[in-house]
């Protein structure tokens, strides 16, 4: 090793100088070449976006236009909220109003495809995740409609953080619960929160504080959306409220 070399009179000193020069050559070579590249993990499905001339921002995972660029989410901050003993940590992406409008339109479109009332679907997403696609609860529920891993697999969702996939999976699950409980939205919502087994075991809404509070919140949000939709219908020129705008 170089650290163990000692300089002696005669040929030993010359030998040590040659070794030192060789070491410098090696160091310079490494600096020029740079670190050895490491294999990168496979990337998740990319989302692409572009803003058109009229200010509308478009999103897709299959870009068909050269204007689409890879979407980089806005800066995130972690917030914590509690609901009658339930704690969850969500990463709230503070997107601009245009992105929010696109998301609300996607929620309405998905609700219509699964024969759900848009106001109800908006209310569930708002109560579950606060419209945050990256929300993760302390129990492991994820995404806009807070799908548990087993539920996501059941409804065929591959990427729970992909807004469209999560909404479609959650809408499919909610639609199935409404049909399972003969169109009773209250029982379906209770099952969405506590599980259909708990609803069936209790013969109705389970007497859980969290589930009762969840029902109150969702139904309150739903009434707000319905009132706003009615006001917009009566006054077409009125600008809808940012938080309750429906398509």
Whether 57 is covered by a domain: the verdict is no
90, β-bridge pairs: 79
Whether 140 is covered by a domain: the verdict is yes
pLDDT by residue (tens digit) across 69-103?
A: 776 544 333 333 333 333 333 333 333 333 478 89
Whether 10 is covered by a domain: the verdict is no
Which pLDDT score, from 0 to 100, does residue 27 have?
A: 46
CATH, residue 142:
1.10.530.10
Compute the distance between CA of residue 77 and CA of residue 247 in angstroms, rounded to an integer.
28
Q: Which of 109, 128, 168, 210 is catalytic?
A: 128
Structural domain of 132: 96-234
CA contacts within 13 A on the Cβ side of 228: 19
Whether 91 is covered by a domain: the verdict is no
Higher pLDDT among residues 144 and 94, named by residue: 144
Which candidate, 94, 166, 179, places its Cα nearest to that of 125?
166
DSSP string, 106-128: HHHHHHHHTT--HHHHHHHHHHH
How many domains are there within the chain?
Answer: 1
Measured CA angle at 8 (ends 4, 13), to 5 deg = 90
**pLDDT bucket at 57, cuts 50 / 70 / 90:** low
Overall average pLDDT of the 154-168 stretch:
96
Could you confirm whether 128 is annotated as catalytic? Answer: yes
Min mean pLDDT across 55-59, 136-140, 209-213 is at 55-59
Whether 108 is covered by a domain: the verdict is yes
DSSP string, 5-20: ----TTHHHHHHHHHH
Structure tokens at 80: 């914590």
**The model's pTM:** 0.59
- Mean pLDDT score of the chain: 74
């Amino acid at each position: 090793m170089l650290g163990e070399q000692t300089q002696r009179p005669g040929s030993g000193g010359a030998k040590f100088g040659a070794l030192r020069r060789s070491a410098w050559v090696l160091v310079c070579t490494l600096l020029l070449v740079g670190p050895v590249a490491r294999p990168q993990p496979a990337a998740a499905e990319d989302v692409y976006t572009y803003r058109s001339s009229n200010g509308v921002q478009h999103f897709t995972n299959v870009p068909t236009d050269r204007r689409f660029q890879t979407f980089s989410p806005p800066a995130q901050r972690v917030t914590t909220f509690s609901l009658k003993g339930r704690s969850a940590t969500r990463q709230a992406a503070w997107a601009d109003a245009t992105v929010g409008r696109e998301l609300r339109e996607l929620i309405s479109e998905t609700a219509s495809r699964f024969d759900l009332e848009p106001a109800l679907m908006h209310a569930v997403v708002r109560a579950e995740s606060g419209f945050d696609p990256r929300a993760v609860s302390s129990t492991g529920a994820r995404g806009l409609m807070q799908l548990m891993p087993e539920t996501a697999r059941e409804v065929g969702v591959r990427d729970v953080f992909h807004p469209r996939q999560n909404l479609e999976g959650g809408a499919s699950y909610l639609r199935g619960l409404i049909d399972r409980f003969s169109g009773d939205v209250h029982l379906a919502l209770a099952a969405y929160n506590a599980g259909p087994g708990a609803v069936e075991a209790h013969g109705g809404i389970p007497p859980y504080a969290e589930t009762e509070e969840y029902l109150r919140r969702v139904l309150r949000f739903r009434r707000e959306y319905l009132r706003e939709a009615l006001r917009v219908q009566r006054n077409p020129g009125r600008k809808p409220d940012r938080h309750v705008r429906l398509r």
